Chain A
Amino acid sequence: MIEQRPAPYTDVAPSAAVSAAAGGGPGRRRRHVLDLDDYAPAEIEEVLSTAEAMRGILARPIKKVPTLRGRTVVTLFYEASTRTRVSFEMAAKALGADTVNISASGSSVEKGESLLDTVRTLRALGADTVVMRHKSAGAPYLVASEINASVINAGDGWHAHPSQALLDLFTVRSHLGRLDGLKVVLLGDVLHSRVARSNLWGFTHMGAQVVLCGPPTLLPPASFGCDGLPWPATVEYRVDRALEGADVVMALRLQTERQAAGLLPSVREYVHQYGLTEERLAMAKPGALVMHPGPMNEGIEIDTAVARGVQSVIEEQVTNGVAVRMALLYLLSGLSADQARGA
């Protein structure tokens, strides 16, 4: 099949010879995207500006370039996902890569194949990049240490979801023009949230002030207080105080299992105490952004009117996810950012 080339078009051949600055900050090239903890602000900037170029590609009538033609991106999902998996797949396809999607059900995982054997098999079949989601924190690190392919963490247990945090940074910056000095509230079940952890790294690296707000049972262990947090963030149990003067409010998904696990008296009380309503949103700065990583429980952690309101950028988060993931795939491929813009 002959691919239709969008114009203007510059052919970019995959090449191992890459500029030193591409993808890994000064002097090194990143091979994996596992978390944002080791991203310097300049490298985050690079992802965001590359994503800007990718958004340009997605705005074209034919949303496809052949930059990663001949490369294979495998999505390996041990947990259910709609938006993240599809977003990575669309990003890979927009860059011309071949994609293969594997989920735990229907694969040899059901026959008891170990994670490492599965990824070794994928590598032997020719995967260049493995985008993976797994219930155990750290699983992508294990994979990255064992196989000769790039690994992108698309969510590991409670630990990290770096592409989500990057798309959140991208979305905030495109609305508010900056990240530095903003007050960002992460509201709800921070304890079990990989989105919260990656956003804590992302926002604090970029100079934002992060406030964690939720019931004490759903925040990192209180016995250690704020001093026990690995991020320069503050904790506020009372939602009204947390929201005061906020530029960004991100509601986190509340798993209803938390009630059965004894962490909440009832979902009803949670909604009463922490649900993001229009009334509460009014405590934040006028025009504060409302975000949610999805999937939402409307009427629980976020009121429908707020989720669909003028301050909500929730759908835009999803849209931006494709551009940000294109940027990550691109930067990992070892081609320079200039070449990306030319693509």
Chain B
Amino acid sequence: MARIRLTGGRVIDPASGLDDVTDLVLDEGVVKGLSRGSGSADGETVLDVSGYVVAPGFVDLHTHLREPGFEDMESLRSGTRAAAAGGFTTVCAMPDTSPTTDTGSDVEALLRMARRDAVVRVLPVGTVTKHREGRELSEMADMAEAGAVAFTDSGRMVKTGALMRRALEYTLLTGLPIADHVEDPDIAGGGVMNEGPTATRLGLRGVPHEAEEVAVARDLALARLTGGRLHLAHLSTAGSIGLLGRAREQGLAVSAEVTPHHLTLTDAAVAGSESGRLYDANARVSPPLRTLEDAEALLQGLREGVIDCIATDHAPHRIIDKNCEFDDAAPGISGLETAFGLLMRLVHAGRLDLATLIAALTVRPSRVWGLPYGTLARGAPGDLVVLDPAQAWTVDPGRFLSKGKNTPLAGQTLRGAVLLTVVNGTVVYRNGL
């Protein structure tokens, strides 16, 4: 495997606290080390990355890759190419495929397909209950042995408190977290956007904040009861941050993620704040985009470590599933390729520092799920990304590598671009470098 030397870049590795201009060498697929100004050896590829940022490859704990079963929405190939374009070197594949990832052999099959088609590392996430139906537990111990990294009923809350209790108890065996989609479906009541003045004005059914907070409260109570390992997916409300903060103070083994869109957008996007289109179905997502106060609280939670990390909840959909009546539109945003640029809005606004952002995309998600990635330590897998935090680009979904063109950001100019993505020492994405 080729030796790669990146010269002159600002290397930010939050895992070690490094933030310095230095050369970085990858060899044999792993991080060989840092060297300042030393000459290059024969046979190595030298890339001058002066003026750019070198960081560990991003790790996404929440990616819908749709394969097997929904290859018209996304495939392992298209989804992982999109991941590479977004700077992600590791993605955790959600199990809401067809068939769902319920067994050890499902996990093995996915890993086999990924070896064939994927350009970045794919880590399977299994279901908590068979077919996500909320009736019987899935074979989580077998899946763990086969290489699953977590379990979730993805897109649905684990249906009953009793099952969630058993699932959390089972984590004491597997050591792997239950990532719950925290939304009480009764309280959500078929809502299609955040409940509030915008929903009232648009005449759309709302999902109150409390649909999430009731679910968070249930799961935290059950984590306390069982001592099990709980992960809260895509938190969206200020109230959830409050509940989570108190649980952390009590020492509960709980972790949480937030999406780029919940940190940066509000329910005004449904009324066209990003796209200029009223009833923008591309702004329909579950949980729904909330308010400015919520986005502020989520950001503060991320800064203070109440929220562990950022995950994209990349949810590609077909055009016909979005270019339709809002009530009928599928929820979700194709987010891998816009994540970094969108999050850089927070950095450019002076509300988040770049090192914290990179940590939230790399070492922090890796640590919460016990993954050996997201670091540039010597000997670590050679996963890295070269970023230009200043480069402006316009979002054109037609040019996405993802099959999912569903983004409310079409036409928006983002500042912050991914120039190079390397997985295990191999360049998998290159953009102008």
Contact = CB atoms under 8 A, between A and B. Distances in A.
A136 B325 contact: yes
A37 B200 contact: no
Nearest to A192: B203
Interface stretch (B144-152, B191-199, B300-308, B387-395): B191-199
A251 B206 CA distance: 25
Nearest to A196: B203
Best-buried of B195, B325, B328 by chain A (most CB within 10 Å): B325
B208 A223 contact: yes
A134 interface: yes
Contacts of B208: 221, 223
A37 B201 contact: yes
Interface string B247-290: 00000000000000000000000000000011100000000000
A142 B324 contact: yes
Contacts of B200: 220-221, 224, 228-230
Nearest to B277: A145
B155 to A, nearest CB: 22
Contacts of A224: 196-197, 200
Interface in B364-396: none
Contacts, number: 71
A115 interface: yes
B329 to A, nearest CB: 9
Contacts of B197: 224, 228-230
A139 B329 CA distance: 11
Contacts of A116: 323-324
B46 interface: no
Best-buried of A115, A134, A138, A197 by chain B (most CB within 10 Å): A138
A156 B202 CA distance: 10
B198 to A, nearest CB: 7
Given A37-B201, A223-B208, A230-B198, A137 B326 contact: yes
Interface string A78-91: 00000000000000
Contacts of A141: 277-279
Contacts of A145: 277
Nearest to A198: B203
A159 B199 CA distance: 9
Contacts of B349: none
Contacts of A194: 203
Given A114-B320, A145-B277, A136 B328 contact: yes
Contact of B203 (A115, A146, A158, A221): A158
Given A114-B320, A157-B327, A223-B208, A137 B196 contact: no
B325 A197 contact: no
A160 interface: yes
A110 B319 CA distance: 22
A138 B200 CA distance: 13
A20 B225 CA distance: 70
5 contacts: A157-B204, A157-B327, A197-B203, A230-B197, A230-B200
Interface in A157-212: 157-160, 194, 197
A235 B414 CA distance: 42
Interface of B: 195-198, 200-206, 208, 277-279, 320, 323-328
A138 B328 contact: no
B44 to A, nearest CB: 53
A137 B324 contact: no
B327 A221 contact: no
A214 B279 CA distance: 27
A159 B324 contact: no
Contacts of B203: 137-138, 156-160, 194, 197
B195 A221 contact: yes
Nearest to A219: B200
Contacts of A37: 201
A133 B197 CA distance: 24
Contacts of A136: 325-328
A57 to B, nearest CB: 33
A278 to B, nearest CB: 32
A14 B200 CA distance: 39
B192 to A, nearest CB: 9
Nearest to A146: B323
A136 B201 CA distance: 14
B204 A138 contact: yes
A228 B196 contact: yes
Contact of A197 (B196, B201, B278): B201
A80 to B, nearest CB: 18
A115 B277 CA distance: 18
B151 to A, nearest CB: 34
Given A221-B206, A221-B208, A230-B201, A142 B195 contact: no
Nearest to A140: B279
The 4 residue pairs across chains A and B that have the minimum distance between CB atoms: A159-B203, A138-B279, A158-B203, A136-B325
A156 B279 CA distance: 12
Contacts of B324: 114-116, 142
Given A37-B201, A228-B197, 8 more contacts: A116-B324, A136-B326, A138-B278, A158-B203, A221-B195, A224-B197, A230-B197, A230-B201
Contacts of A115: 324-325
B75 to A, nearest CB: 25
Contacts of B196: 221, 224, 228
Given A145-B277, A221-B195, A138 B202 contact: yes
A72 B231 CA distance: 58
Contacts of A220: 200
Contacts of B202: 137-138, 159
A343 B46 CA distance: 79
Contacts of A135: 327
Interface in A27-41: 37
Contacts of A134: 325
Interface string A92-116: 0000000000000000000000111
A137 B195 CA distance: 15
Interface in A221-244: 221, 223-224, 228-230
A220 B202 CA distance: 12
B279 A142 contact: yes
Interface string A41-72: 00000000000000000000000000000000
B279 A137 contact: yes
A220 B279 CA distance: 19
A137 B323 contact: no
A35 to B, nearest CB: 9
